[in-house]
Amino acid sequence: MKPYLALITSFLSFIAWNQEVEHACSEAKIHAKQIGIKTLTALQEVKANAYDVHFYSLDLNMTNQSTLLSGTAEIHGTIVQNLDTILLELFPTQVISQLRLNGVTSTYSRVNSLLKIGINQSVGSSFVISVDYSGTPPTSVQNPFGGSGVSNATVSTIGNKVTWTVSCPFLAHEWFPCKQILRDKADSSAVRITVPNGLIATSNGTLEQTEDLGNGFTRFTWKNHHPILYYLICATVAPYTEYVNYANPINLPGDSIKVQNFIYGNATGLSQAQAQCDLLPGFIELYSDKFGLYPFSDEKYGISLAPLSGGMEHQTMTTVGVMEKKITTHELCHQWWGDHVGIASFSDVWLSEGFATYGEYIMLENFYPAETAALVNAWHSSVLTAAGGSIWHTDTLNIARIYNSRLTYKKGGAIIHTLRHLINNDSLFYASLRSFLSTYGDNVAVGLDLKAHLEASTGIDLTPFFEQWYFGEGYPTISARWNSIGNDVLVEINHTTSMPTSVPYFSIPLELRFTRNGLSDTIVRVNITDNSDQFFLSGMGSVSALSTIDPNNWIINKNGTIVQDPTFTAAVETNIDEDSWTIYPNPSSDEITITWKNGECTLRIMDSRGQLVQTIDQATENQMKISGLKSGVYIIEISTANGARSQRRILSL
């Protein structure tokens, strides 16, 4: 494809995706409405991977009045493969006055944003590149395929300006020289910012020193001692007021986590922001319980206000424009999902944004449960506005596609809810997530890493789930036909899909709510395996209606029809005399006996998810050991050669 045609195609793709932007975090990341163009070609990335970055050190002069900056950047690294040139990225408006390699002035060359430094060192040796530079980062006008790595704007409520950075996905090089490759986390970083007196400069990690230089300027020194992605390094400058409180997670006994917030100093701003800041300790404690201890507990968590449309999850120091509980918890959740465990590819940004979006639900579920249904309904409504679109994608240069609100955020969060439903055991669900975060912490991962880890920890084959919901497109429209015969119910579930060429059918557990005469409503879980499935539900009582499909909104789906059909009897034989078979003792912790009076049959034991545990061919009597089963409810199904079936529930103690 010719270059100009590729740009036109990308731009049109951008416009199409950008029409769907809704989530605040998404808006913050594509606020310049740009298409991201990486400086390095694929071959240059291979060459850049011949060295490993260990440490970024930035010593900058900044102000809140403009985006102009100057200073020195250091990049510490190690040679891991033979190479003759170090490749870095730095935008052309940043003018280099001197570059040093290991303390010695060195020659270099620049082609647009590509910075090349010759090197002659052996594999395993370390190097330090120091770059003295100054300039104004580009605007989206100067750089239509970037811009806004550093922004400056007025906050009307304080009558003053704020300067802030947002570097994802490829904008870090607009304000410091760096290697913009996701798989190379720096081991640590330091940011020193000198600003006019009366301003505060914020960044990652711990504020180790605040130094009045005696010349009308103050230097703030921040140090981060944890691995960090290039785009999570940040700087913010404003006339802030510092507001501190502390979180006390149960898994950090005898200690606390500093929550260091930098908010606007006018009376209204202080009262509004403080109220939201006071919620953060509880949210940190919640996520520490669900996902494991806050990964940067030895440093801090903080928020710096800036006039952007949403938030950006800079490591340990979120930049946020709106202090609202779902936005602040979304960015906080990123500290586990996206920061501690980074993404290895923007194709798998779901690992970051999907889980941060689901973090909003977890927060509401635990603190504001009445608001959960509206949130999930909003996710589903957004997804249902179009027939297709997958979460995983290959358009990793299109910022609007990477951070697409409908797919990356709304569908991304919704399928984690579905995954939780599929696992059907919250203790196991959260334990598996904690184990994954522990395994991949301080590193990067892709979606298939999570799949493999969850399969190993839960024993569930997640291939259908990921093929249908993560890689696949679309959603089901689900209908039901049912009939009540005595105390038993026959149900037929039919579904079509919005993108049958991508996903012809969905296989997923499905809940059905039944209304009963003289009894409370009951929810039954059945296992959908095809476009049409039939189920025989025994001992249901007098059922007056199949009232709701998926009553708890676990699954993205459109409502089909629910029809009571009195003629629906032939598809599932129901002529098994309930007196012809018995199960005893029930409940049991060791062994049960199943008797059957009418010849040969097949017995199947299924767990509460409808997954097969065991199959037995049985004639007239059989003892079955259940001591190896976990405690819980199981389903015993008896079936004959002519298709007659009956089910009963047992309780394993």
Which pTM value belongs to this model? 0.85
Omega cis (within 30) before 253:
no
Place 639 in a pLDDT band, splitting at 50, 70 and 90: confident
pLDDT for the residue numbered 204: 98
Strand partners of residue 495 = 478
Say what angle helices 350-367 and 280-291 make with each other, to 10 degrees: 110
Residue 316 tokens, joined: 């340990």
Q: Do the Cβ atoms of 22 and 381 come closer than 8 Å?
A: no
Q: How many Å apart are CA 518 and CA 420, to the nearest integer? A: 32
Strand partners of residue 155 = 160
pLDDT for the residue numbered 143: 58
**Among the residues of 164-307, which ranges form H helices?**
267-277, 280-291
Query: What does the DSSP 8-state code read for residue 442?
Result: T
200-213 pLDDT tens trace: 999 999 999 999 99
- Residue 4 parent element (H or E): helix 3-18
Average pLDDT over residues 588-614: 74
| Helix, coil or strand: residue 172 | helix
Which runs of E-coded beta strand occur in 119-199?
126-135, 150-155, 160-165, 188-196
Q: Which is it for strands 301-305 and 257-264: parallel, antiparallel or unpaired?
A: parallel
390-439 pLDDT tens trace: 999 998 888 889 999 999 999 999 999 999 999 999 999 999 999 999 99
- From the list 596, 652, 602, the residue with the least C-alpha distance to 625 is 652
pLDDT for the residue numbered 605: 81
| Helix, coil or strand: residue 363 | helix
**Among the residues of 91-200, which ranges form H helices?**
none
333-375 pLDDT tens trace: 999 999 999 999 999 999 999 999 999 999 999 999 999 999 9
pLDDT for the residue numbered 27: 62
Q: What angle do CA 312, 471, 415 make, to 5 degrees?
A: 60
Q: Do the Cβ atoms of 49 and 181 come closer than 8 Å?
A: yes
Residue 439 tokens, joined: 């395994």
pLDDT for the residue numbered 13: 38
pLDDT for the residue numbered 452: 97
Q: Which is it for strands 508-516 and 543-549: parallel, antiparallel or unpaired?
A: antiparallel
Q: How many Å apart are CA 320 and CA 323, to the nearest integer? A: 7
- Domains (range + CATH), the chain: 3-383 (2.60.40.1730), 476-564 (2.60.40.1840), 578-652 (2.60.40.3080)
- Residue 317 parent element (H or E): strand 317-320
Q: What is the DSSP string of 564-603?
A: E-TTTTSSSB----GGGEEEESSSBSSEEEEEESSS-EEE
Q: How many Å apart are CA 563 and CA 478, to the nearest integer? A: 12
